[in-house]
Structure 1
C-alpha cells in the first residue's frame, strides 16, 4: 500500500490514507505530501474520490464500508498499481518464491546501467532506500503477488516467473488451481511480449511449455538447464557467470545461494530485453546487496553471525539454509523458525521439518496466525513430530533466545526464519551474544509466538 501511495503522490495525485498503527512509513508519506491518519474513522474519507484497499483490510472496516455506502469506486491495491503502470512498459515479477529479491535485483541493475525505472517492491531494499519510486524512464518494475490472485490485474510487457509451486491453498484450495492461475497470468502477455521463466524449476518450466503451446507470446528460459536460452554457471560465491548469444559474462554477486544466482539470471535476462548491453548488466549487479529480510545480516557476537530471512514455504526454508551453509563453511547452522499460518502448517508440516533438518539445530516457535483463526488440531507440534535429533519446540522470548545462544559456537551461523514477528528475535539474539540476556528477556515490540 505504501508503494502505491508513494508513486501516486510523486505523480501528482492527491493521496490520503490511514492505518491501524503509526508506522514509520507513514511519516515518510506525510512528508511527501499525503494526508495521513492513524486509526480508522469514516471522517478520514474526506473528499476522496476513489478508495484503495489491500487484501488485509476486512470488509467491515468502517472507512471501506462508508466508501461503498457512498458509491465510491473501491480498488484493490493491485488494481491501483496497474492503473499507475498503464502508460509504461510494465515488467512484473511473479512466482511462489523470490519475487521481492528478483524485482529488487532488476531495479538495482537497471539503475546501475543508467536507466531510471519506476518500481514497486514488497520489501525494503537498502541499495534503493525505499520500496517504491517514480522514475524518469517509461519502464515500471513491479512485484506481482499471486497469493490472492491479484497478479491477474496487471498487463505486463515482460513477465518473469521464478518458480511455481502449490502455496496459499487457503485461497486457491488445490494445487491445480494455483497452476491455472499462472496460466491465466501468462495469457495476459501480448504477442510482442515475453515470458522470462526459470528452466530449473519444474513448475515454471511446465508453465513455459504450456505458454509456448498456446502461442500468445515469446518465451525465454534462464537457468543451469541445458536448453536454457541464457545459461547460468554457478560455481559458488565468486564464480557465477551467464552465457548468452553474445558470449559469457561474469556476474559480481554479493548475495549467497543458488536461488540468488538464478534470481540474478532472471534480472540479467530482463535487462537484455530492455536493451541493456550484457557487459553493463553484468557489472551493475554488483550494486545489489540484498533486500530486507532476505538473508539479511543482523549483527553478531562471540564470533557468531546472525541473519534473518522471510522464508515461509518449505522450498524457501531449504534455500535459506543452503545459503547459510555456504556462508558458515565448516561451522554449524542454527535456525529459529516460526511457522506462518495454520493452513500452511497443516499442508506442509512434514516438508517444513525435512527442510529444517538440514540445520544442526532447528528450534520451532508457535504458529504466527496472521490473518487466520486457529484450526483445531493444528499447531507447531505437527512440524516437531518430524524433526530430527537437533530439532525441538521452544517457547517465545527468553526460552527461544537462550536456546539459540546456548547452541551457537564461534564461527556458527544463526538464522531467524519466518514471515511473522520472528524477525524481532535477531537483534535480541545479537544483544544476548554480545552482552548477555536483557533483564526481562522480552524482545522490543512485544514478540509473541502466537
Structure 2
C-alpha cells in the first residue's frame, strides 16, 4: 500500500506515545491529521499546536466532515488500546474506511529503509533513543520513531535532515499485541524477554515465541544484538547468515569494563564485535543504562559510526523523559522520576539509586499499572519495592482493563515486607509530603498517570527549599 494515496489521517488513540510519533510524521509531511483520545495531555496539546485537530469525546460527529466525506482519501490508524465497543471505531469499520493498526503503518514507513529495531519487555525506549541520538549526533541522516520523549531531541520523532530516501530508520519495536511482527530489521536489538503482557500472551512461552518470530524477520546478513538475560532460544530462529552478538556488563562478546560511578555519571570502557570504546562518561545513571548503552553503541558501530564519534555522542546524551529522570535537587535532597512498571525494571532502577545515593533514606511513591500485571507479578513487585526504605503505594492504574475482583493496591501492600509503608490516593500525596519531609531521595515510579504529580511535586520541593532558606 502507498500511503501517499491518502490525504487525511485519522487516529483513534492519538495521544499514545507511539501513535503521536506517527501523527507527527504525517503532520511533517503535509497530511491533514485529526484524532480522538480519552483525555488531554501535554502530548495532545503539543500535537494540537503542531496542527492536529483533536477531541476527547467518543462522538462520530466530532470527526472532521472532510475526513468522513473523502472515504477513499482517509486512512484510519488504530491503537489496540481502543476497544471494539468504541463508537467511532464501530462506525468507521461499518462504513468501510481503510483502517490499519499503528504497527502496520510503522512497517510501511520503514519498509524501504535500513532499519534498526529495538525490542524487549523493558529497556527498549532508552536503548532506541540512545541509538537515534548517537546517529543524529554523528551526522547520520536518520528517522526515528520512539516510545518516549528524548530530552536531547525534545520529541519522540526524529526526521532526517537530508538524503531522506537513504536515511537509516530507528524504531522501538513493541511486543504488545505482537506489533513488532510488521518489522523486518537489518539490525535487531533484544534487551529482555521477561514475562509481561500475559493478558495478551497467556504464558511466557507464547511471549518468547513472538520474539522468535520477530528475530526470524531480520534480513539476511543482518545482526541480532541479544542481551544475555533474554531467552537464548530466540537466537535459533534467525536466518543462518545473521550474526548474533550477545551482550552484558561482563563476560560477553559485547561487554563493559571498569564501571565507575563519579559525580552522578557512569564511567566505563566497552569492547564489542568490531570496535573498542575508550572510557566514556554516561550522564544517565544506572547499571542497566550502561547495558542499554552497550547495545546502542554496537548498533551504531555496525551502521558505520566511529568509536570516537560514539564516545562524543554518549558524553552529551541526556536521556528520556521519565527514565531515571532527575527532576529536582538542592544538593541535600533529590527527586527522581521513573517509568518502571515491571518488577525487574523496578529492581534495576532502585539498585542503581542505592549505588548512586548510598546510605540515604529512599522513599518511593509507586503506582501499579494494570490489574493483570499486579496479579501476575505480585511477589516480584513486593521483593523489588523492598529495596526502598519506605513505600507509598497508590491505587492501581487500570489503563485498558476492567477491575479484577480481589486485585487491588491493598493486596500488594500486604505483601510488602517493609515497616514503613502507606496506602494513599494520588491526590493525597502532596499533603502527605508536606507533613513528612524526612527523606534524602524521593522517587515517583510507574507507567500510569503518576506523571501528572511530577510538576506539582517539583514545585512543592522548590517552594519548600525556598522557605527553608
- Regarding TM over 0.5, the answer is yes
Is 2:111 the partner of 1:102?
Answer: no
Is 2:201 the partner of 1:172?
Answer: yes
Distance 1:376 1:41, change over 3 A: closer
Is 2:92 the partner of 1:67?
Answer: yes
Contact preservation (8 Å) 1:103, 1:121? yes
Contact preservation (8 Å) 1:342, 1:372? yes
Cα separation, 2, equivalents of 1:429 and 1:286: 29
Contact preservation (8 Å) 2:76, 2:99? yes
Cα separation, 1, equivalents of 2:397 and 2:43: 23
Structure 1 residue 250: Cα displacement: 1.9
Alignment of 1:37-436 (within 5 A): 37-43=55-61, 44=63, 45-46=67-68, 47=70, 48-135=73-160, 136=162, 137=164, 138-199=167-228, 201=229, 203-208=230-235, 210-211=236-237, 215=240, 217-226=242-251, 228-237=252-261, 238-244=266-272, 245-300=274-329, 303-397=332-426, 399-404=428-433, 408-409=437-438, 412-435=440-463
C-alpha RMSD over aligned residues: 2.3
Cα separation, 2, equivalents of 1:322 and 1:404: 24
Contact preservation (8 Å) 2:410, 2:423? no
Query: 2:16 is matched with which residue?
Result: none
Distance 1:33 1:364, change over 3 A: closer
| Alpha-carbon displacement from aligned partner over 1:189-212 (angstroms, at most 9, x marks no partner) | 12121111112x1x244433x246
* TM-score for the superposition, normalised by structure 1: 0.89
Contact preservation (8 Å) 2:37, 2:56? yes
Structure 1 residue 252: Cα displacement: 2.2
Contact preservation (8 Å) 1:303, 1:409? no
* TM-score for the superposition, normalised by structure 2: 0.86
Query: 2:37 is matched with which residue?
Result: 19
Using the TM superposition, name which of 124-133 and 64-73 deviates more: 64-73
Structure 1, unaligned stretches of length 5 or more? Answer: 438-450
Distance 1:75 1:391, change over 3 A: farther
Using the TM superposition, name which of 142-151 and 384-393 deviates more: 384-393
Using the TM superposition, name which of 396-405 and 49-58 deviates more: 396-405
Contact preservation (8 Å) 1:103, 1:142? yes
Higher strand fraction: Structure 1 or Structure 2?
2
Q: Secondary structure at the match of 2:176?
A: coil
Contact preservation (8 Å) 2:245, 2:253? yes
Using the TM superposition, name which of 5-14 and 147-156 deviates more: 5-14
Cα separation, 2, equivalents of 1:362 and 1:63: 41
Distance 1:25 1:382, change over 3 A: closer
Cα separation, 1, equivalents of 2:434 and 2:319: 25
Query: 2:10 is matched with which residue?
Result: none
Q: Secondary structure at the match of 1:377?
A: coil
Contact preservation (8 Å) 1:362, 1:390? no
Distance 1:279 1:204, change over 3 A: farther
Is 2:20 the partner of 1:2?
Answer: yes
Distance 1:20 1:375, change over 3 A: closer
Q: Secondary structure at the match of 1:251?
A: strand
Contact preservation (8 Å) 2:117, 2:189? yes
Structure 2, unaligned stretches of length 5 or more? Answer: 1-18
Contact preservation (8 Å) 1:405, 1:429? no
The number of equivalent residue pairs is 431
